[in-house]
Structure 1
Amino acid sequence: MNSYTVLLIILASVLAFAISVFQYKYKEKRSRWKNILAVLRFVSLLTVFLLLLNPKFNSTSNTIIKPNLFLLVDNSESIKPYQQELLKVYNDLSQDAKVDKRFTIKSFTYGADFKELDSISFTDETTDIASALLNIEQIYTTEQTKIVLFGDGIQNIGEEYQYLQLGENFSLDAIAIGDTTQYDDLNVVSLFANDYSFVGNQFPLEANIAYTGKQPVKAVIRVTMNNKEVAKKNITLDKNNSTKNFSTTLKAASAGIKNIAVTVSSSLNEKNLTNNSLETAVEVIDERTKVGIISDYKHPDLGTLKTSIEANKQREVLFLDKPYTDEKLADIDLFIFYQIGAGDKRVVEYAKSKIVGSFFIFGANTDWNGVNKLNLGFEKEDLGQKEAIFASDNQGFSLFDVSDFTPTNYPPLSGELGDILITDPHEILFFQKIRGIDLKDPLLAFFTGEHKVAVLFASDIWKWRMQTYRNENDFTSFDSFMGKIAFYLSSSQQKNRLQLNYDKVFPTPKQALISATFYDKTYRFDEKAQLEITVSRTTDGFSQKTPFVLKNSSYQVDLSNLEAGDYTFTVKEKKEGISTSGSFKISMFSLEAQVNTTDKTRLTQIANNNNGKVYYPNQLANLKEQLLEDDSFKPIQRSTKNVVPLIGFKWLLVILCITLTAEWFIRKYNGLL
Structure 2
Amino acid sequence: MQTTTIIYFFGAILFSLGVSWLLYFYKSKELKKIDYFLFSLRAISTFLLLLLLINPKIEKIETENEKPTLALLIDNSKSIKYFKEVENVEKLVSEIHKDNSLNKKFTIDNFTFGEHLKVLDSLTFLENETNISKTIKDLNELNKDKIAPIFLITDGNQTIGEDYEYLNSKQPIYPIVIGDTAKYVDVKITQLNVNKYSYIKNKFPVEAILNYEGIKKVNTLFSIFYKGKVVFKKEISFSADNNFKTVNANLTSTKEGLQYYSATLRKIDNEKNITNNKRNFSVEVIDEQTKVLILSSILHPDLGLLKKSIESNKQRSVDVFLINKFKKNINDYQLVVLYQLNNKFNKIASVLKQNNSNYLIISGTNTDWSFTNKLKLGFRKNAINQTENYGAIYNDRFLTFLQEDIGFSNYPPLKDKFGEIIFSKKHETLLYQNINGVQTKQPLLSTFDINNQKSAVLFGEGIWKWRSNSFLSSNSFEEFDKFIGSLVQFLASNKKRDRLEVNSDNIYPANSTINISAFYTDKNYQFDSRASLEIAITNKESKVVTKFPFSLVNNSYQVELENLLSGEYSFRVSVLDQKIEKFGRFKISNDHIEEHFTNANVEKLHKLAIKSGGKLFYINQLNDLTKELLENETYYTIQKSKLKQQTLIDWKWLLFIIIILFSSEWFIRKYYGKI
Q: Using a 3 Å threshold, how does the CA distance of structure 1 residues 573 and 294 change in structure 2: closer, same or farther? A: farther
Q: Bigger shift: 266-275 or 557-566?
A: 557-566
Structure 1 residue 429, shift from structure 2 partner: 0.7
Aligned to 1:189: 190
Aligned partners of 2:500 and 2:518 also within 8 Å: no
- Partner amino acid for 1:161? Y
Aligned to 2:486: 484
Aligned to 1:295: 296
- Partner amino acid for 1:485? L
String of CA shifts for 1:464-502, please: whole Å, max 9, x gaps: 233334433443332332222222222235555554433
Aligned partners of 1:532 and 1:572 also within 8 Å: yes
Structure 1 residue 263, shift from structure 2 partner: 0.7
Query: Aligned partners of 1:65 and 1:500: how far apart in 2?
Result: 50
Residues 519-598 of structure 1: pairs in structure 2 closer than 5 A: 520=523, 533-538=535-540, 540-544=541-545, 546=547, 549=550, 551=552, 553-560=555-562, 562-571=564-573, 577=579, 579=581, 581-598=583-600
Aligned partners of 1:512 and 1:586 also within 8 Å: no
Residues 203-602 of structure 1: pairs in structure 2 closer than 5 A: 203-321=204-322, 327-403=328-404, 405-449=406-450, 450-493=452-495, 495-496=497-498, 498-507=500-509, 509-517=512-520, 520=523, 533-538=535-540, 540-544=541-545, 546=547, 549=550, 551=552, 553-560=555-562, 562-571=564-573, 577=579, 579=581, 581-602=583-604
Query: Aligned partners of 1:67 and 1:497: how far apart in 2?
Result: 53
Aligned to 2:112: 109
Aligned to 1:618: 620
Q: Bigger shift: 421-430 or 113-122?
A: 113-122
Aligned partners of 1:355 and 1:494 also within 8 Å: no
Query: Aligned partners of 2:282 and 2:476: how far apart in 1?
Result: 37
Return 5+ residue gaps in structure 2 as ranges: 2-43, 52-56, 662-667, 669-675
Say which of 153, 157, 168 aligns to 1:154: 157
Aligned partners of 1:506 and 1:512 also within 8 Å: no
Q: Bigger shift: 582-591 or 206-215?
A: 582-591
String of CA shifts for 1:525-564, please: whole Å, max 9, x gaps: 66676765554444x2514263663735555554445432
Structure 1 residue 442, shift from structure 2 partner: 1.3
Aligned partners of 1:174 and 1:613 also within 8 Å: yes
String of CA shifts for 1:244-273, please: whole Å, max 9, x gaps: 111121122333322222111223343322
Query: Aligned partners of 2:391 and 2:407: how far apart in 1?
Result: 12
String of CA shifts for 1:194-241, please: whole Å, max 9, x gaps: 222222322221101111123332211111124321011122212222
Q: Using a 3 Å threshold, how does the CA distance of structure 1 residues 197 and 358 change in structure 2: closer, same or farther? A: same
| Percent identity between the two aligned chains | 35
Aligned partners of 1:389 and 1:414 also within 8 Å: yes
Query: Aligned partners of 2:414 and 2:436: how far apart in 1?
Result: 12
Return 5+ residue gaps in structure 1 as ranges: 2-43, 662-667, 669-673
Aligned partners of 2:311 and 2:317 also within 8 Å: yes
Secondary structure, in 3 states, of the residue corresponding to 1:417? strand
Secondary structure, in 3 states, of the residue corresponding to 2:419? coil
**Number of aligned residues:** 608
Structure 1 residue 570, shift from structure 2 partner: 4.7
- Partner amino acid for 2:96? L
Residues 126-145 of structure 1: pairs in structure 2 closer than 5 A: 126-141=129-144, 143-145=146-148
Aligned partners of 2:257 and 2:285 also within 8 Å: yes
String of CA shifts for 1:618-673, please: whole Å, max 9, x gaps: 3334444444455554556667899x99x9699xx99xx9xxx9xxxxxx9xxxxx
Q: Using a 3 Å threshold, how does the CA distance of structure 1 residues 478 and 613 change in structure 2: closer, same or farther? A: closer
Aligned partners of 1:301 and 1:459 also within 8 Å: yes
Aligned to 1:69: 70
Q: TM-score when scaled to structure 2?
A: 0.79
Query: Aligned partners of 1:207 and 1:282: how far apart in 2?
Result: 15
Secondary structure, in 3 states, of the residue corresponding to 1:459? coil
Secondary structure, in 3 states, of the residue corresponding to 1:304? helix
Query: Aligned partners of 1:528 and 1:105: how far apart in 2?
Result: 44
Query: Aligned partners of 1:60 and 1:541: how far apart in 2?
Result: 71
Aligned partners of 2:362 and 2:459 also within 8 Å: yes
Say which of 100, 124, 137 aligns to 2:103: 100
Larger Rg: 1
- Partner amino acid for 2:215? K
- Partner amino acid for 1:369? S
Aligned to 1:8: none
Aligned partners of 1:113 and 1:128 also within 8 Å: yes
Q: Using a 3 Å threshold, how does the CA distance of structure 1 residues 501 and 132 change in structure 2: closer, same or farther? A: closer
Aligned to 2:89: 86
Aligned to 2:13: none
Q: Using a 3 Å threshold, how does the CA distance of structure 1 residues 324 and 124 change in structure 2: closer, same or farther? A: farther
Aligned partners of 2:538 and 2:546 also within 8 Å: no
Query: Aligned partners of 1:452 and 1:327: how far apart in 2?
Result: 22
Aligned partners of 2:519 and 2:527 also within 8 Å: no
Secondary structure, in 3 states, of the residue corresponding to 2:127? coil
Secondary structure, in 3 states, of the residue corresponding to 1:479? helix
Q: TM-score when scaled to structure 1?
A: 0.79
Query: Aligned partners of 2:307 and 2:317: how far apart in 1?
Result: 8
Query: Aligned partners of 2:439 and 2:395: how far apart in 1?
Result: 11
Structure 1 residue 383, shift from structure 2 partner: 3.4
Say which of 113, 116, 121 aligns to 1:118: 121
Aligned to 2:26: none
Q: Using a 3 Å threshold, how does the CA distance of structure 1 residues 493 and 360 change in structure 2: closer, same or farther? A: farther
RMSD over equivalenced CA pairs, Å: 4.0
Q: Using a 3 Å threshold, how does the CA distance of structure 1 residues 132 and 573 change in structure 2: closer, same or farther? A: closer
Aligned to 1:178: 179
Secondary structure, in 3 states, of the residue corresponding to 1:390? strand
- Partner amino acid for 1:179? D
Residues 24-39 of structure 1: pairs in structure 2 closer than 5 A: none
Query: Aligned partners of 1:80 and 1:113: how far apart in 2?
Result: 18
Query: Aligned partners of 2:440 and 2:482: how far apart in 1?
Result: 27
String of CA shifts for 1:400-457, please: whole Å, max 9, x gaps: 3332523213222121233323233321111123344333221111112211111112
Aligned to 1:41: none
String of CA shifts for 1:312-331, please: whole Å, max 9, x gaps: 33332212356788853232
Query: Aligned partners of 1:497 and 1:64: how far apart in 2?
Result: 58
Structure 1 residue 141, shift from structure 2 partner: 5.0
Query: Aligned partners of 2:109 and 2:613: how far apart in 1?
Result: 20
Aligned partners of 1:534 and 1:543 also within 8 Å: no
Query: Aligned partners of 1:535 and 1:325: how far apart in 2?
Result: 47
- Partner amino acid for 2:516? L
Query: Aligned partners of 2:532 and 2:107: how far apart in 1?
Result: 53
Query: Aligned partners of 1:60 and 1:335: how far apart in 2?
Result: 87
Query: Aligned partners of 1:496 and 1:323: how far apart in 2?
Result: 39
Secondary structure, in 3 states, of the residue corresponding to 2:491? helix
- Partner amino acid for 1:219? T
String of CA shifts for 1:553-600, please: whole Å, max 9, x gaps: 555554445432223445566766555544332335444332242222
Aligned to 1:40: none
Structure 1 residue 68, shift from structure 2 partner: 2.6
Structure 1 residue 142, shift from structure 2 partner: 5.5
Structure 1 residue 305, shift from structure 2 partner: 1.8
Aligned partners of 2:222 and 2:234 also within 8 Å: yes
Query: Aligned partners of 1:139 and 1:523: how far apart in 2?
Result: 39
